[in-house]
Every structure is written in C-alpha cells, then in structure tokens.
Amino acid sequence: MIKPHGSEQLNPLYVSDSAARAALAEEAEKLPSMLLNTAAAANAVMLGAGYFNPLDGFMNLANAMSTAEKMQTVDGLFWPVPILNRTDDIEAIQGAERIALRDPNVEGQPVLAVQTVVAIEEVSDEQLNAMTEQVFGTLDPEHPGVATFGARGQYIVSGPIQVLNYSYFRNEFPDTFRTAGEIRDEIAQRGWETVVAFQTRNPMHRAHEELCKMAKEAVDADGVLIHMLLGKLKPGDIPADVRDAAIRKMVELYFPENTVMVTGYGFDMLYAGPREAVLHAVFRQNCGCTHLIVGRDHAGVGDYYGAFDAQTIFHNEVPDGSLDIAIFEADHTAYSRKLNKVVMMRDAPDHDKDDFVLLSGTKVREMLAAGQDLPPEFARPEVAKILMEHYQNA
C-alpha cells in the first residue's frame, strides 16, 4: 500500500478520542459561531476524514492563489485546488481566536468543527476571477462549478480545524461512507497491495463495470475500490442512495467475491474537469490506492473540457514525483455489436458509431421514466430495474 500524500502517516483532523471530542464540543458552545456554506462543510468533512491529508485546515489567500496558479502551496506542497472557508458575513467572528463552524446540511445546524482563526482576508473580484479561471478553465457563469464557486463569499477565513463529526454522511450512508483511514484499514485486512480506484457520481452501466475489470486486469490489481461521491450534485443527477443500491447490486451479481470494495465519500462535486481529476488522485492516494481510473471527460460538465484533458494534465502540468498514485488512462467504453463485448473505443479502430450500443444520458432517463427496458448490452437488467423505479417514482 502506498503512503499518503505529503506525509508518512495519515493525519485525519477528526478528534477520535471521545473525551477530547466531548471537551471540544463543550468549548464550541461558548465560541462565536459561523454557519458554513455547503462547500466549506464538505471541505471540513474531507479534512476530518483524512482525504485532504496533509492539510491541517482551511487555506489563506496566499495559499489559495498559489494553489490555483501553480498547483502548490506557498511552502511547496503539491495541491490542485484551493480548500477554503469563505463567507460574506464576518460580523460575529471578527477578532475571535477560535470559532465554532456550524453545519448547514443538518437540522439545527450543529457544530461540525472548531477552527483556530489565523486570518480573515478579503478576496478581490480580480483575485476570485483569477482563481476561478485557473481552477475551472472558464469564467462562464453557466458552468455549475463556476456559479457555485463565485457565490461563496468575499472573505476567506483561514486556519487549522478540529472536526467533531462527519455531517450527515455517517448517518445517511452507514454502509457506504468511509474515511480514508477506514479504507486503508480494510485494504490491509483484505491483503490487497495493488488497488484500482474508480470514481463515480453516476450509476454504473455495463461499460463502467467492464472498465473496472479491464483496469484491474491491466495493472494486475488485487481489487477495485468503487468510490462514489455522496455530496451535493447538480440538478438532474441521480441521488446517492439510488446510485448506491444500483452499484451494490451490480457488484453482488457480476464481480467475483472479494475483488471490490463499495464505498463513498462526503464531498460536493466541483465539475472542475482536469483539476478535479488531480484532486481525485490525491485523495485516492490517501486511501491507499495505487491506481486511479481517469476516463473520457473525467469530472467534466457540458463542453467545457476536451475529452482527454483530465488525462493530459497529469503529463503536462503535474510535476514528476508530486504523486505516488498512477493513472490508468481509459477511453470511452461501449458494447461492440461486432465483437459482442464491451471494448474501449480506441481498441476498435474498424468500428463506426453504429457498431456500438450508445445511449445519451437524456435518452436513458426518458426510457427509464417511460418504463422501457434498457438494452442488456448497455445496462444490467437488475441495475436498470432499480433506476427505473427511481425515475417512475420521481
């Protein structure tokens, strides 16, 4: 198993000692409070769970600008995107040395973490635009990630944090949410050395299933980590509980026993394309994975990124030695009518479009909502049944 990013040992920011956690919770009730936005709350969960190792909290403006521009902090740590706590309202926390960070996603807004305030800095429109363009590659307000990032506030509150809980993820997804440390522990318990990670925010169809099998065979891996995003998505994306059920059914029926771990993590989708692919690599390394599948338009949205930009960034912009995890570069996969199996399109140069079973996301949703069976070459029938029930009840 490979070591975490930036350190010899994983350093999750969750306060695991129950007595220390109770004392911190008691202290938090007496501190000035700040209600987090959903992005900052997700960052806190990822920091608590060890996915953002070796960061000790939220970045200041200098580190945010440096990370956005050069993919490294001022001190030289490789990091692909700013990890921020932003707000428009600093009245209640001005002058405070420590503050309670409250969860916007849980009823009653309980304390999620306690932050030691190192600085409160105002970010200019020019600085915000520079960060946005460097991370997302565009300033188009129609881009869902750009729109979200632009609305998070003009003030950056930086400093280390201590995390009290994992927001709603542990309660709502008890069988799926796992910290980076828990995943490392399970990999060790299974005796796996080489592990391929598959990132998903969608249900897995036949092409995704076969891609995982192809990657596992290609790198001679002991197992596959199917790691699904459990946080906020854009409107129209399939809810996490439905994806979870569909993926588990596929693994149960179509993968050999003890070759797949189905897990999830508590983060919001950025839709930042290439930069987000690099972030995905960082926190899969923190999970102990040796390889990450990066496919066509990984973490993309619309037509903002080239089909393979999320792969070429690892060659053109990530300095050698920055990461220990390796990238398995995948092409679009689809069922070949000629060969009667799922293939990567690059491996079938004699095919044209009609030789593949291809369905757009829109067409899939329309068929499921209408109660029409998806082609078995496209989706396993047991998976399609779960998705159809969701769309017909929506």
Q: What is the pLDDT along the chain (394 residues), one digit of tens a residue?
A: 899 999 999 999 999 999 999 999 999 999 999 999 999 999 999 999 999 999 999 999 999 999 999 999 999 999 999 999 999 999 999 999 999 999 999 999 999 999 999 999 999 999 999 999 999 999 999 999 999 999 999 999 999 999 999 999 999 999 999 999 999 999 999 999 999 999 998 888 999 999 999 999 999 999 999 999 998 766 677 888 899 999 999 999 999 999 999 999 999 889 999 999 999 999 999 999 999 999 988 999 999 999 999 999 999 999 999 999 999 999 888 899 999 999 998 989 999 988 999 887 778 888 888 889 899 999 999 999 999 998 888 6
Tell me, yes or no, whether 79 and 137 share the same domain. Answer: yes
For residues 51 and 17, give the distance between their C-alpha atoms in angstroms, rounded to a whole number: 19
**Residues belonging to the chain:** 394
Measured distance CA(258)–CA(10) in Å, rounded: 25
Q: What is the mean pLDDT of the chain?
A: 94
Q: Residue 299, Cα to own-chain centre: how many angstroms? A: 9
The number of domains in the chain is 2
Same domain, 92 and 240: no
Q: Which residues are 372's β-sheet partners?
A: none
Q: Are residues 40 and 143 located together in one domain of the fold?
A: yes
Q: Tell me, yes or no, whether 1 lies in a domain.
A: no
Q: Residue 82 is part of a domain; what is its CATH number?
A: 3.10.400.10
Q: Which domain holds residue 96?
A: 18-167
**Cα separation of 301 and 310, whole Å?**
12
Q: What are phi and psi of 57, to 5 degrees?
A: 165, -155
Q: Are residues 186 and 261 in the same domain?
A: yes
Which of these three, 167, 193, 227, is where a domain ends?
A: 167
User: Which residue of the set 21, 98, 170, 201 is catalytic?
Assistant: 201
> Pick the catalytic residue: 11, 170, 190, 202?
202
- Does the active-site annotation cover 202? yes
CB contact at 8 A, 205 and 234: no
Q: Are residues 211 and 158 in the same domain?
A: no
Q: Contact 38/104 with Cβ under 8 angstroms? A: yes
Residue 291 lies in a domain: yes
63 and 206 share a domain? no
Residue type, 171: N
- How remote is the C-alpha of 110 from its chain's centroid? 24
| Same-domain pairing of 26 and 98 | yes
The verdict on 151 and 208 lying in the same domain is: no
CA distance 184 to 355: 41
Choose among 228, 114, 212, 216: nearest CA to 178: 228
144, 38: one domain: yes
Look at residue 359 in the predicted model and tell me its pLDDT.
Answer: 81
Look at residue 9 and tell me if it is in a domain: no
* Same-domain check for residues 296 and 365: yes
Count of helix runs (H) and strand runs (E) in the chain? 13, 15
Residue ending a domain, choose from 139, 167, 195: 167
- Its pTM stands at 0.94
Q: Is residue 13 part of a domain?
A: no
In a domain, 93, yes or no: yes
320 and 207 fall within a common domain: yes
- Domain of 384, CATH number, reads 3.40.50.620
Active site residue 201: yes
Whether 90 is in a domain gets the answer: yes
Q: Domain boundary at 140, 167, 194, which?
A: 167
Q: Are residues 146 and 196 in the same domain?
A: no
